[in-house]
Chain A
């Protein structure tokens, strides 16, 4: 496999992984909907 093909297929795999992740997130998400806590001037 030449380098561009190798890179392209890796990017493609990443896109698929991203899509899978997004799909899984969409499935699980509604049961787990939660906004990140808001931080204002964290002081420890």
Chain B
């Protein structure tokens, strides 16, 4: 995407070949060294956003990236309207790479199983079996482990070590040693069998082969990578979900005739029709008709907005009432929906990736192991042993240092953790998410739909003098029963709960934007705004107006009711706080988090909700587009921020937050932009989600420790020249079994409140 700034150009580049976040940092550094160039490289999305002066060409930028050892290309599509198809190709290439990984895993597994069986079961070791092992293991080591070798090579050129380096070194050492033993040593003799003696045999390397270690390690790590790749979030998914919200085609008025055209063909100035129940095709101004617009999908606000000629409407909102004729003012990339999409991608792009834990450990472990191998070599040469023996010991150090359970440490814990999460209604997107939960110190809750139910309920009835609140509710409820407006439905529901069956309403009329009127029990009833009552010739007394403004001050909605030409009362409805919200806040606090409430309401309304649920930090009057800015500000202040939200307007903030939690009852976009999805409406699952994630991360850390522990314990044996395949195999088996069973312990994780279903199993 190339957009001209004042004198700077902006460019998005697709980058290939990055293996970890330090690659991203490296490319960034290289680009930033160029005069006037600022670059932000994102490892997760494999893209760079570069701002560069006119003197620099995109080709030069690409050359710089390629010089660093990576591939770079400009995105094929440059027009924002073509983004969806671009995304599809992203998905396809994602799927292709996962499928390629699966094929690699399958072929490697098929080849490895006989190699391991032959090595472990002496009875199967027929004459010259070791040569069959070599034939089977060679493709696994060379082709199966190719991604690791390639990544290790790229890392080496940057003097960096990751998990790939460790795997590659270990696999190559084991394979090279086996080749040596087979061709030069005596392991290639026809009647050779594996020496499975418990007493280690010093310097036995020349007749031992480690082909099963080389292949099994490759398969284990490939399996781990495959599970991770399948769980990896697709960065385009949020965008796709967002763009799918829009209308697909639209009825345009051409010479008074309605013609249906695809949405892409719509241009600014076109007049189009929005029928009841249809989505508004694009941003525009109403020219004819009145209706109520349900913008809940975009704003999370449950009360429809009344619109008439001259009012602005936003694309992708739903026309809940009558037929509207709208003149399009913005189309394609200019619409509010597209702008939100841009915010979401930008937030995802700008998010700092987290280095994999295994890579961080490897970065320290690999140099130590290499140093240890070199020291071993030096020691035995210095001690006057033959060079071949010194090499045996040094290579043995490299072989045993590569833990095969390393590849299982993260995926198994993740599989069990996410599985348990799913039972509890918590969906975790990937391993990176877990790391964030550990560091989060502030949690921002969006009010509507998160803390509140997002549904209107009756709060209070204020009867006028000479009327009872029962009368007001019964008559108003009966009248509103015929209305489809959420406010009317709330009143009708409350009345039906209190009185059972309600009187029948006749001559019902919906006065759009004002309220409703009809006849109930022979009374001519009106309910709605004061203007409707005045129109009906009903004076509205001071006390009722006061009750209404008191309600509106705290963010509630008040409906005036009158019948038989007299004012009868005020019915107050509001989006109510979820019953478990207070407990949830307490649980979040117990996790050491600072809880904040974010809302577009005024301070008084926000504070009344905040006091009810026990939050003292409130950010009120936040426009939907400013939510992102609030999260950024908190991050700039040094906080690690989690955000809980549900609406499309929360999506960018969810993506920006270090940890985004979406309510499952919310929109697809919010869910896609978030890291964790809470399937239940219950806010308490947010606390459970953070606890479960933290527990899963701890398990991963424990796994990593044990993956290394057995191999590290065997390191002195290897350095002393006592390594044999039994020890290598045992270290492999013990650490794998330990890692898997340690991960399985996560199944016993319980939600904090045992009354919730799912927690008892």
Known contacts being A3-B159, A29-B383, is A42 close to B378, with CB within 8 Å? no
B191: chain A residues within 8 A (beta carbon)? 41, 43
Pair B389/A36 contact, Cβ less than 8 Å: yes
Within the complex, what minimum Cβ distance (angstroms) separates B365 from chain A?
A: 14
Within the complex, what minimum Cβ distance (angstroms) separates A12 from chain B?
A: 12
Pair A43/B193 contact, Cβ less than 8 Å: yes
Instruction: Across the interface, name the chain A residue whose C-beta is closest to B190.
Output: A41
A40: chain B residues within 8 A (beta carbon)? 186
The docked-state distance in angstroms from the alpha carbon of A24 to that of B384 is 11
B98: chain A residues within 8 A (beta carbon)? none
Instruction: Across the interface, name the chain B residue whose C-beta is closest to A31.
Output: B383
Pair B367/A10 contact, Cβ less than 8 Å: yes
Known contacts being A39-B207, A40-B186, A43-B191, is A18 close to B386, with CB within 8 Å? no
Pair B375/A20 contact, Cβ less than 8 Å: yes
Asked if B317 CB lies within 8 Å of chain A CBs, one says no
Partner of B378 from A20, A30, A34 at Cβ < 8 Å: A20
A43: chain B residues within 8 A (beta carbon)? 191-193
Pair A42/B386 contact, Cβ less than 8 Å: no
Pair A18/B374 contact, Cβ less than 8 Å: yes
Pair B382/A25 contact, Cβ less than 8 Å: yes
Pair B204/A39 contact, Cβ less than 8 Å: yes
Give the one of B122, B191, B721 with max A CB within 10 A: B191
Asked if B385 CB lies within 8 Å of chain A CBs, one says yes
Pair B122/A44 contact, Cβ less than 8 Å: yes
**How many pairs of A and B residues are in contact by the CB < 8 Å rule?**
101
Q: Please encode chain B, from 342 to 371, with 1 for each CB lying within 8 Å of some chain A CB and 0 for all others.
A: 000000000000000000000000010011
Instruction: Across the interface, name the chain A residue whose C-beta is closest to B371.
Output: A17
Known contacts being A18-B375, A39-B204, is A3 close to B122, with CB within 8 Å? no
Instruction: Across the interface, name the chain A residue whose C-beta is closest to B389.
Output: A36
Q: Quick one: which of B171-198 are within 8 Å of A by CB?
A: 185-187, 189, 191-196
Partner of B159 from A6, A22, A30 at Cβ < 8 Å: A6
Pair B159/A18 contact, Cβ less than 8 Å: no
Within the complex, what minimum Cβ distance (angstroms) separates A29 from chain B?
A: 3
B159: chain A residues within 8 A (beta carbon)? 3, 6-7, 10
Q: Quick one: which of A4-38 are within 8 Å of B by CB?
A: 6-7, 10, 13-14, 17-30, 32-37
- Please give the residue numbers on chain B whose beta carbons come within 8 Å of chain A beta carbons, in ascending order: 122, 157-159, 185-187, 189, 191-196, 201-204, 206-207, 367, 370-371, 374-386, 388-389, 392, 721
User: Can you list 6 residue pairs at the A/B interface with Cβ under 8 Å?
Assistant: A17-B371, A20-B378, A21-B379, A22-B378, A36-B386, A42-B204
The 4 closest A-B pairs by CB, nearest first: A25-B382, A21-B378, A29-B383, A36-B203
New A-B contacts (9) at CB < 8 Å, excluding given A17-B371, A36-B392: A20-B375, A21-B376, A21-B378, A22-B381, A25-B381, A28-B383, A30-B384, A33-B383, A36-B385
